Structure 1
Amino acid sequence: FLSNITHDDLLLQGTTGNPKAAVLSHHNFVNNIIAYDYRADLTTDMVLCVPLPFFHVYGLSVTLGRPLVPGLRAVVPSPSYDVAAILKAIQEQRCTDMSGSPTMFVDIIKSPLLQHYDVSSLRRAEAGGNVVTPSVRKLIREKLNIPVRVGYGTTELTTAATVVCEDDPELKQLHTVGRALPLLEIKIADPMTGREQPVDTPGEVWARGHNVFLGYYNDEQKTRECITEAGWYKTGDVGVMDGDGYVTIVSRLKDLVIRGGENIFPFEVEEVLNTHPAIHESLVIGVPDDRMGEELCAWIVLKDGLSVTDEELRDHCQGKLTRFKIPRYFIYDKNVPRTPIGKAQKAKMRPLAAQRLGLTK
């Protein structure tokens, strides 16, 4: 079987939202792992704990790709996500690295089981699959006493397109997703014109290189919409690039809230709310409004045993955000619609929030 595989054999990956199959080749996967290896220095003595699901491109690449290409060892703790199994695997297999979503790392650190296991073999954490906030990066470093690598990518980009590592400057480690992997190109483009944006100016993240998928299966129109004639893949993510080439992801284009003609990136508001001592996580979405078109709603997940009022949160935002960026509505609920790797599903949250607030017609 292996002798018959060519670099164009296909792997089909499902994505969240409306079902579509992103066609990826062995060439995509193998070369993307090699490019990541150049940047992240994967070594054969690494023992990688991987609690990620195989059906997600991140889990597939880490669990199957890295053992086959650079030759390191991957440990799958359990058939499904289980914090106790992860801790047991790290202790018994002496795992040196762990790849996971930010939610997984937070769950492990906050679990009372952590104190009963020896995780001193861990040398680094690799977080991705969702936005990894500076507060989560600090939490991992402080509680597990290991550096954090953060990558950025999509299924269509065969997992990683950028990565920030422990040898990068401190502020870059905390606030960015790093620079493009070797032999890949990243640019920040005006989504309307495709022109490259100036340094530190928000725009859509475009990528080009060997990691760009071949297209959507049986959907030429959708493929043409997101891959330009010059080979650039339009990610749908909003980001900025600094003068050193480091990228910061700001939001999704589809999550952009337009209130009275003003563009508001939810991530900017979430960063401020997340600094409140009572908040575990905040998720900002747009809800319908007859006058403004959209209003801001903050879905708040509180820390255990703590509480806060709407007015206290508005006061917290004063002076840190422009007035029109302060949420009008707040919902307090730990039950957030999520994907299997813990990413909040804002497309599902918006109608739920509108219904709760009595804004549906």
Structure 2
Amino acid sequence: MEVGVSLAYAAGDGSVPLLDETIGENLARTAARYPHAEAVVDVARGVRLDYPAFLSEVDGLARALLAAGVGHGDRVAVWTANRAESVVTQYATAAIGAVLVGVNPAYQQAELDHVLRHAAVSVVLAARSHRDSDYGRMLAEAGRAGWQGGAVLFDSGGWAEFLEAGRRVEESRLTAAKAAVAPDDVFCLQYTSGTTGAPKGAMITHRSALNNGLSAGRGLRLTERDRLCVCLPFFHAFGIVASNLACTTHGAAIVISAPGFDAAAVLATVERERCTALHGVPTMFIAELAHPDFDSFDLSSLRTGIMGGSPCPQDVVQAVAHRMGMSELTVGFGMSELTSLTTQTRVDDPLERRYGTVGRPLPHLEARVVDAEGRTARCGEVGELVVRGYSRMAGYWEDAEQTATAIDADGWLHTGDLATIDAGGYVQIVGRLKDMVCRGGENIYPREIEDVLHRLPDVVEAQVVGVPDPKYGEEVLAAVHLRPGSDLDEDAVRTYCREHLAYYKVPRHVVFIQDFPRTASGKVKKRELRDALAARLGAAVSG
């Protein structure tokens, strides 16, 4: 690779030592160091555990898994909305070298069947139900469809019996199981959202997850006095790594606001538990800021947090920092295949970098932007972001072909994200390769237009997609969610855009909608949105 400051390449600090231990070993050290610090608080269920009590719960579940025949490398799934048992399961599986498989609570039967069979899951620990889904019935159906594992439901007699069997496991057996775990063993299979096909299981090791969580926490300056309000799902890397492991590597508290995301519950939890940190994807923060009772909550304890998971509009970042009092808010970029966080702004970065970029690579990680031929781009040029380093997945579970597609011969993981890197090493995400709009030969990046739309005071959220057009191939469509009572119309939106964008980027179509299709982790399903709006537009034109 050509070397020079003008190239779009950046590397994190390589002098910071990486931890060479397992997640279980690290948790034991934290519990010994901070015996009086709270580890897990489940507000909805009234659970409150300090670090020694949390470690005891983890060991108890680890024993139960051993009693059930779970061994090193066996896959154990957890299928539930957020609750304390989710966190206990994460650390119990890690303690004995089993592989955690987080299952999306929103999965329907076909999706569940795929993950359970694909990962050959031995045991599922699950809630009894979620919304209108009967998990017990669905798990039984998965068995009839060919899955050969077993299931234990929380809040059932079977769960009590399961834990009781673990109490009969000798300490020496648990000790031996823990000793057999190595830092490079797989900690979890992080299944992708499946928006481009069947979900794929990214293999994440203890080393990568532990060090990524440690780096995220360092970026926030976490200590044992911090309390992180967690509203992100625990089947997602943002939840289990950048949230949970960021806390347990620093002795901070994991405070679960509610089983699922609820803006009012988040705000109330921050107030009642005096949380100092809060993570979320932009749509979560937007919902919190837009809550009608927002001004009635005392958020004065908040200091820091991470906004990430999808493109972060600069105006939203600024509003969160100022209105929520998060003076040390950071913005990050990551993905399942890179464990979680890859870049992060620092609390001492200049404001324009903190609010307008996703920061620089974390320690020991490299990032560069490449063109269509794989050549390193120049600073400021748009291309695909590729990343290399310890946090890169070990590969996709049982899928060598997809692994070879994602990771090139030099070890770079191709993210599919369009980005720029400036001379200071700061990364800016422009959009997704597959979301780029090509209008009459001009490449248009939705993120740029979305940032402009978010500056309109009446706009709660905006998403931009490309829709078919007979003349230009594609045209720009803006889907806009307005604040209640707004009288903003299509002409006003276009007029504003014309004042801030080149003519060909101005949305040809403006559609006002109340909500967007989302994944369970809060990301907008752009393909589904594009298809629905294109069909709606086609019907309107033909009608």
Which of structure 1's runs of 4+ aligned residues deviate more than 6 A? none
2:182 is matched with which residue?
A: 6
1:259 aligns with 2:439: yes
1:83 is matched with which residue?
A: 263
In 2: Cα distance, 1:268 partner to 1:106 partner = 18
> Relative to structure 1, is the Cα distance of residues 275 and 86 closer, same or farther in structure 2, using a 3 angstrom cutoff?
closer
Moved more, 334-343 or 158-167: 334-343
Residues 230 and 257 in structure 2, CA contact (< 8 A), matched pair in contact too? yes
Unaligned regions of 5+ residues in structure 2, if any? 1-95, 97-177
SS in 2 for 1:267: helix
Which structure 2 residues correspond to residues 1-361 of structure 1 after superposition, within 5 A?
1=96, 2-7=178-183, 8-16=185-193, 17=195, 18=197, 19-147=199-327, 148-190=329-371, 192-358=372-538
Letter in 1 for 2:360: R
In 2: Cα distance, 1:67 partner to 1:112 partner = 31
2:12 is matched with which residue?
A: none
In 2: Cα distance, 1:294 partner to 1:78 partner = 42
Residues 38 and 182 in structure 1, CA contact (< 8 A), matched pair in contact too? no
Letter in 1 for 2:339: T
Letter in 1 for 2:350: P
In 2: Cα distance, 1:132 partner to 1:290 partner = 32
Residues 39 and 182 in structure 1, CA contact (< 8 A), matched pair in contact too? no
Unaligned regions of 5+ residues in structure 1, if any? none
CA drift of 1:75 comes to 0.6
Count of aligned residue pairs for this structure pair: 360
Moved more, 267-276 or 212-221: 267-276
Deviations 1:235-270 (A, max 9, x none): 000111111001111100010011122111111111
Query: TM-score by structure 2 length?
Result: 0.64
2:157 is matched with which residue?
A: none
Letter in 2 for 1:182: P
Residues 242 and 340 in structure 2, CA contact (< 8 A), matched pair in contact too? no
In 2: Cα distance, 1:306 partner to 1:180 partner = 40
Deviations 1:278-303 (A, max 9, x none): 32222110111223221111111111
Q: Between the two structures, name the one with larger relative contact order (CA 8 Å, sep ≥ 6).
A: 2
Moved more, 305-314 or 250-259: 305-314
In 2: Cα distance, 1:43 partner to 1:29 partner = 19
Letter in 2 for 1:13: Q
SS in 1 for 2:461: strand
Residues 35 and 183 in structure 1, CA contact (< 8 A), matched pair in contact too? no
Letter in 1 for 2:303: R
CA drift of 1:93 comes to 1.9
Letter in 2 for 1:6: A
In 1: Cα distance, 2:217 partner to 2:264 partner = 30
In 2: Cα distance, 1:232 partner to 1:60 partner = 24
Cα RMSD, aligned residues only: 1.8
In 1: Cα distance, 2:315 partner to 2:291 partner = 18
> Relative to structure 1, is the Cα distance of residues 270 and 64 closer, same or farther in structure 2, using a 3 angstrom cutoff?
closer
> Relative to structure 1, is the Cα distance of residues 341 and 198 closer, same or farther in structure 2, using a 3 angstrom cutoff?
same
CA drift of 1:72 comes to 1.5
Query: TM-score by structure 1 length?
Result: 0.94
> Relative to structure 1, is the Cα distance of residues 38 and 273 closer, same or farther in structure 2, using a 3 angstrom cutoff?
closer
SS in 1 for 2:381: coil
> Relative to structure 1, is the Cα distance of residues 314 and 112 closer, same or farther in structure 2, using a 3 angstrom cutoff?
closer
SS in 2 for 1:251: strand
SS in 1 for 2:209: helix
